[in-house]
Amino acid sequence: MGRPPSIPVEKKTRIVLSVLAGELTIADAARREKVSEQSIGRWKAEFLEAGKTALATGRNGPTSREEQLEAEVVELTQALGEAAVEIRVWKKSAEGRLGPSRTSR
């Protein structure tokens, strides 16, 4: 028998929150979602542990996604600056060969 399809994290979160709120027992949730009680117990333990870790460490800095986006902004800003310099050089070069342009007044 093959492994059942993976359950999306959003659904796991809703299941765990239902169990923590007392809306469902672990056994009821397992039956309803057709997964083992051990799986739901593991999700609950992981959820609580991650929550404790987040509270203990706090939000001391940017997330990896924020860091990635900041690095991308720096890279794109640098590329834009380099392109602007190249355009100026080309315009100066063209003016030297063709005389002053109408837009450079």
Provide the domain count of the chain: 2
| Whether the Cβ atoms of residue 30 and residue 39 lie closer than 8 Å to each other | yes
- Asked whether residue 2 is domain-assigned, the answer is no
- Asked whether residue 3 is domain-assigned, the answer is no
Together in a domain, 73 and 95? yes
Residues, the chain, total? 105
- In the predicted model, what is the mean pLDDT of residues 2-6? 70
Together in a domain, 45 and 68? no
Q: Which domain holds residue 27?
A: 9-57
Q: What is the pTM of this model?
A: 0.53
Nearest to 35 by CA among 57, 11, 56, 65: 11
Q: How far apart are CA 92 and CA 101, in angstroms?
A: 9
Together in a domain, 48 and 69? no
> In this predicted structure, what is the pLDDT of residue 16?
95
pLDDT tens for 29-81 read 999 999 999 999 999 999 999 888 888 877 666 678 888 999 999 999 999 99
> In this predicted structure, what is the pLDDT of residue 63?
75
